[in-house]
Every structure is written in structure tokens, then in C-alpha cells.
Structure 1
């Protein structure tokens, strides 16, 4: 008997390779979403940063007191010299403004005594003017009453300064 031709072996079917693009796309989106959620959670859980506190605690605008001009005789060197000056005091807050205005005669008297004790040659230089400004602050900060708290004058800004 003649042998029947052998049956051809079925070819092993090679499984079709599926594309992995959708898998990578889904994983990429998941990583981005989880990363964004983690970052947002960290941001809201953390205590306020210094930057956020700085925005919340905006610095107060400066408070100034314009002083009436002063005209004084300076200490005599060779001839009579006069100083005519005007300046503005910078203070801590509005309460200081009211306190100084209430005691303005005392403040002006102190400052007149200080200004009239100066020598023209000493206050003509920038260094002399800076020293005078520090002395004005010291005089303005002296308490008005014994055992009272001192004022809080923090700056002096000359708006006019003429020696003649």
C-alpha cells in the first residue's frame, strides 16, 4: 500500500506582536497625573513659605512729620553765620506723629538749641550733615516726661539747608 503522503505539519502560528505604544502612552499620562497631584498636595500641605509670608505681611508705608523751617545763628567763628533749614522726621507709626505733635514746642526748643550750637564749617560737609541728622534723631527721641518711653524717630531728611 502506498503510503499516503505525510500530512504537512501545521506551521506553528507565530502570535502577532501587538504594538506597545498605547501602553506607554497610558503609563506616561498616569505618571504625569500622579506627579502633578503629588506636587499639588505637597504645595498645599507645606507651611507658608517666606515668600508667601512676605506677601501677607506687606511693609507699612513710611510715616513722616514735616517740621517748620528753622533759622538760627550759628556759633561764631569769624563773622555772623545763619543756618536756615527745613527737614522731615520719619517715625514708626501714626501714634508717634500724634505724640510728637502734642509736644511740638518741646521738640522745636530742643532742635533750636542743637542747631544754634553748630559751627558752619562742621555742618557744611556731607559727613557734618549726617552727624547733625543723627543728633537731631537723638534729641527728638528723648522722652518728654521723666520715666516715659522714648519716641521712635528713625530718620531725618533735609529738604532745605542754607548757610549764609
Structure 2
């Protein structure tokens, strides 16, 4: 008869687990629903504020757009270049992605990709392996690429707004 108390205890424990799972699911639904509603109202409020500011100068709106929304990433096709000779011939194979603040900047970069690639190719081919082989050298190279990419594409144009250079492949042979 010892089996009877265990048999009665097992269903009670199982029922408690079901209640716990239901409570957890309900809490998750409330949290996610609340977060979604907050995001909706924040985005809707931002859209209303943007319409209210229409008479404001274009420059101010442009600066505001920089801070809004998630960053946009622009992958750049891999480069293979000869490095400046030190110990015989050495090559660099490099791939990276550019982080820009908006789709407008993404389009500006993509439509001028031949200029971007030319600038980067000239920069990379001027480097020695010893200059870019260390973590500090890679960080400096990223800064140098950033300067080159942010230069205006034509006289009188504004600078690009590339925020970061993210290396995705870096091989020196």
C-alpha cells in the first residue's frame, strides 16, 4: 500500500508544473506585448514629431536621422593587394563591412563603390606587412580606411557618414 501515497503525490506535482509553465508563458506574453506596444508608440510618436518639425531646416532633420534606427551595414567585396616589400613579396587579402547610419548613406556608398574601392586599394598597397600585422596596426588601418571612405565623392559634396570599419577577413601571406 506504499504505492498509493506516491501515486497521489505524482499527479499533484505534475499539476503544479503545468501551472508554473502557464504562469511563465503568461508573464512572457505580457512582457513581450508591453515591449511591442512601447516600441509601437515610441515609433509612432517619432513619426508624429518628424511631421511637426517640417518647417525646420533640412540640416537639423538630417542630424536627427543619424541617431534614429538601427545602423546599416554595407559589405565591401574582398581586396587582394601586394604590400610594400620588406621580406620578399607579401600579399594582403582583406574583406570588411562599413557601418553607416541610414539607408541613404548605404545608397551613396554603393553607387560610388568604384571610387571607394580605388581609394582603399591605393591605401592598402601603400602599407607594409609589419605596419598592419599587430592589433594596433589593424586598428590604425581601420581608421585610415574610415578617413578615405568618408571623403566626399565629388567637389562640393558632403562627407559620408561611415561610423565604423568592421574587418571580416584579414590574411597576410
- TM-score, shorter chain, exceeding 0.5: yes
Q: For the residues of structure 2 that align with 1:106 and 1:95, how far apart are their CA atoms?
A: 17
Residues 142-153 of structure 1: pairs in structure 2 closer than 5 A: 142-153=151-162
Larger Rg: 1
Find the counterpart in structure 2 of residue 139 from structure 1. 148
Q: For the residues of structure 2 that align with 1:146 and 1:125, how far apart are their CA atoms?
A: 36
Cα 1:59–1:102, aligned 2, differ >3 Å: closer, same or farther? Answer: closer
Asked whether 1:129 is paired with 2:166, we answer: no
Q: Which runs of 5+ in 2 are unaligned?
A: 1-37, 47-66
Q: Which runs of 5+ in 1 are unaligned?
A: 1-51
Q: For the residues of structure 2 that align with 1:61 and 1:103, how far apart are their CA atoms?
A: 23
How far is the alpha carbon of 1:72 from its aligned partner? 0.2
How far is the alpha carbon of 1:59 from its aligned partner? 5.3
Find the counterpart in structure 1 of residue 32 from structure 2. none
Q: Deviation per CA, 1:81-109: give whole Å up to 9, x if none.
A: 00001000001100001011111100000
SS of alignment partner, residue 153 of structure 1: coil
| More helix as a share of residues | 2
Find the counterpart in structure 2 of residue 17 from structure 1. none
Q: Which TM-score applies when normalising by structure 2?
A: 0.61
Asked whether 1:162 is paired with 2:136, we answer: no
Q: Which TM-score applies when normalising by structure 1?
A: 0.64
Count of matched residue positions in the alignment of Structure 1 and Structure 2: 111
How far is the alpha carbon of 1:78 from its aligned partner? 2.1
Q: Deviation per CA, 1:13-43: give whole Å up to 9, x if none.
A: xxxxxxxxxxxxxxxxxxxxxxxxxxxxxxx
Say what the alpha-carbon RMSD is for the aligned residues.
1.7
Q: For the residues of structure 1 that align with 2:152 and 2:101, how far apart are their CA atoms?
A: 15
Q: For the residues of structure 1 that align with 2:119 and 2:74, how far apart are their CA atoms?
A: 16
